[in-house]
Amino acid sequence: MRALFGKEYEMTIEEAVCYLKKQDLAALEVGTYQVNDDFYFMIQEYETKPAENCRLETHNCYADIQWIISGEEEIDTVSRTGLEADEEYDEKRDVAFWKEPEEMCQSILTTGSYAVLPPSIAHKPQMRAGKEACHVKKCVAKVKWQA
């Protein structure tokens, strides 16, 4: 364990990104891969969905690194401050869902791009980037958050 600002940690966001860059993510099967107690990642494959079929979410214990291995999707983000709960926090799944505010930041993630999403940022992933669905292979990495 290392210490940073008086707190012990196993993996920083930067170290997690470096770790992922060294992996052949495209060759990995769908599933969950545990790296250490503070860091794991999931390989997912799916078809993107219309915005109305996706949900705005946050996590309390982990930051997300959402990395597009192939395909493209829209992901909307907004500060969780002031959001109204749609579904209360589920400690077992480390997720809460929120009612959408009027305005959010819209981003398109394409092959090779990624977004780092700390617990303070609500995010709505898996949306179609255009009119048609797109097949996406994605790595969703979870890094234990030490606030």
- At 82, which CATH number? 2.60.120.370
Q: How confident is the model at residue 147 (pLDDT cuts 50, 70, 90)?
A: low
Dihedral angle sign, alpha carbons of residues 88, 45, 67, 144: positive
Evaluate if residue 9 carries a pLDDT over 60: no
Q: How far apart (Å, rounded) are the C-alpha atoms in residues 25 and 33? A: 11
Q: How many domains does the chain have?
A: 1
Q: Who contacts 71 (Cβ-Cβ below 8 Å, separation ≥6)?
A: 48, 110, 111, 134, 135, 136, 137, 138
Q: How confident is the model at residue 50 (pLDDT cuts 50, 70, 90)?
A: very high
Residue 125 burial by Cβ neighbours in a 10 Å radius (0-12, 13-18, 19+): buried
Evaluate if residue 3 carries a pLDDT over 90: no
Q: How far apart (Å, rounded) are the C-alpha atoms in residues 80 and 52? A: 19
Q: Which domain holds residue 117?
A: 2-144
Q: How far apart (Å, rounded) are the C-alpha atoms in residues 100 and 98? A: 6
**pLDDT tens per residue across span 75-107:** 999 999 999 999 999 999 999 999 999 999 999
> What is the token pair recorded at 61?
């214990």
Evaluate if residue 4 carries a pLDDT over 70: no
37 near 10, Cβ under 8 Å? Answer: yes
